[in-house]
Amino acid sequence: MPFGDEPRSAERRVLVVSHDPAFPPASGADLRNHRNAVSAAAFGPVCLASVRPQAVEAVDPPIRIEALSIEGEARTGSIGWWRLRAEHRISRSALMRLETLVRDFRPDTIVVEGIGLFKLLRPLRPLTKQLILDMHNVESDLAGQLHRADRARSAAARLATALAIRRLERKALALVDRVWVCSNEDRERLMTLFPLKVPVDVVPNGIPHAGDIPETLPAEAAADKTFPVILFVGHLDYPPNVDAVERLAGTILPRIRQTLPAATLAIAGRRPKPAVWALARLPGVELVEDPETMAPLLSRAHLTIIPLAAGGGTRIKILEAMAWGVPVIATPLAAEGLGLVETEELLLSDSDEELAEMAVGLCLDAERRAKQRIHAHQAVWARFGPRAIRDAVRNGLGLDKAGA
């Protein structure tokens, strides 16, 4: 019997393929991949497979966890005779394991994480009824943002990179049945760049670690001798984040301390670059490398400031802060795609001076701070909580249309 013709139940079997292991989730990409897999598990069996080896023994009851590579195995040739820098290397042995997994798991839908895994789309195309590309970012647009800030490369080289990625996106979109994006803004970008004939579904990033956060608004951290405690969380070898913490520690915090001299800044994240370590020597700055959990940091923070000038997708850490009741002050780009209401749910400015003034004003106005905490907390749980993401994944799988 040809593949796909056998009788199947009404449940939807979903295979999510990522580059890095998404369990246990650590990075923003891991959190998205894992959340999408858990949400899809509401509609049938789910397998979450990574190209890279699984670093720890996987125990995640709602979903099956697999790795397509084995730590320490002999290196084999990669698939495809060339690849862009935006693409990940995928070994032939990993592809063989993936094809075996597909035959064993028999998914109705395969979700592939981004154009970094472009080389998997063509071999997977005949193996599933529904092939979905999950675009965490519109990578050609993101490349343009990042390379504009890269003064070491010529304008021609930066443009060539963005155009090459755009060609790869065009090829990828021609191979899939549906596309997922993080936000309405990315959906509009994609539809402007390409005349798409396939559905483009907005599957937002959800609140990270939502199961570990109380859904009732937590009490605000006490205003003790270190008030206010300002928190920044992010991957600390990612250039836009490095730029953001340098602005925060070098310019914004000193302005805040002119009025609130006890103000402190906690910078937390993975793999801090030497430039980030150097910031910890500044007055009032603390660096927390590889925190095991964010709960202690978020429970003592009075606000988070995110002066991001480049980057893509929606900002998962904003959602986490709001879910904990921590007020957010950010640049418009940092909050892009979240659709939050300015002045009610968060404060926005591109200017370091204004970001500092907003922080001081919020800290000196307890009533206004309380209102922002309440509005943001309600909005984030309603629009980015587990139920909202499950509904978005259901729609992204086409189950609403199918009446499943």
Question: What is the DSSP secondary structure assignment for residue 42, as one 8-state letter?
Answer: G
CA–CA dist 404, 402 (Å, integer)? 5
195 found inside a domain: yes
Q: What is the pLDDT of residue 401?
A: 66
Token pair 């981004």 in the structure block, residue: 114
- Say if CB 386 and CB 32 are below 8 A apart: no
The tally of domains found in the chain comes to: 2
d(CA 331, CA 315): 11
Residues 268 and 144 in one domain: no
Please list, residue by residue across 324-360, b when 16 or more beta carbons sit within 10 angstroms of its beta carbon and e when fewer do: bbbbbbbbebbbbbbebeeeebbbbbeebeebbbbbb
- Domain holding 103: CATH number? 3.40.50.2000
Which pLDDT does position 51 carry in this prediction?
96
Residue 263 lies in a domain: yes
Structural tokens at position 117: 């895994």
Examine the domain organization and report whether 141 and 259 are in the same domain.
Answer: no
Evaluate whether residue 2 is within a structural domain.
Answer: no
| pTM recorded for the entire structure | 0.88
Same domain for 369 and 225: yes
Are 195 and 337 contained in the same domain?
no
- The token pair that represents 395 in the structure block: 């729609």
Which residue in 60, 114, 62, 117 sits closest to 94, CA to CA? 117
57 and 35 part of one domain = yes
DSSP state of 100: H
Confirm whether 6 is domain-assigned.
no
Q: Specify the pLDDT at position 276.
A: 96
65: which strand partners? 48
Domain housing 334: 211-384
Q: Which residue has the tokens 């019997």?
A: 1
Q: Do the domain assignments include residue 122?
A: yes
Q: By the 8 A CB rule, do 136 and 60 touch?
A: no
DSSP three-state, residue 286: strand
Largest CA distance in the chain: 75
What's the pLDDT score for residue 151?
53
The answer to whether residue 274 sits within a structural domain is: yes
Structure token digits, residue 17? 């393929």
Is residue 21 located within the same domain as residue 127?
Answer: yes
Are 55 and 179 members of one domain?
A: yes
The pLDDT of residue 225: 86
Domain co-membership, 128 together with 259:
no
Whether 390 and 377 map to the same domain: the answer is no
d(CA 285, CA 359): 16
| Assigned domain for 217 exists | yes
Domain co-membership, 233 together with 380: yes
Query: Is there a domain that residue 8 lies in?
Result: no
N-terminal to C-terminal alpha carbon distance within the chain: 25
List of residues 6+ apart from 5 with CB closer than 8 A: none
Which residue pairs from 167-170 have beta carbons closer than 8 angstroms and sit at least 24 positions apart in sequence?
A: 168/84, 168/86, 168/87, 168/115, 168/118, 169/115, 169/135, 169/138, 169/139, 169/140, 169/193, 169/194, 170/194
Considering the domain architecture, whether residues 93 and 236 belong to the same structural domain is answered as no
Phi-psi region of 252 (alpha: psi -120 to 50; beta: other; left: phi over 0): alpha
Same domain, 365 and 232: yes
pLDDT in tens for each of the 404 residues of the chain? 333 443 344 689 999 999 999 988 888 889 999 999 999 999 999 999 999 998 777 666 779 999 999 988 888 889 987 888 788 999 999 999 999 999 999 999 999 999 999 999 999 999 999 999 999 887 777 766 655 455 555 667 767 878 888 899 999 999 999 999 999 988 998 898 888 789 999 999 999 889 889 899 999 999 888 899 999 998 898 888 999 999 999 999 999 999 999 999 999 998 999 999 999 999 999 999 999 889 999 999 999 999 998 875 558 889 999 999 999 999 999 998 899 999 999 999 999 999 999 999 999 999 999 999 999 999 999 999 999 999 999 999 999 765 54
Instruction: Compute CA distances 350 → 95, 305, 307, 308, 387, whole Å.
Output: 45, 12, 7, 9, 33
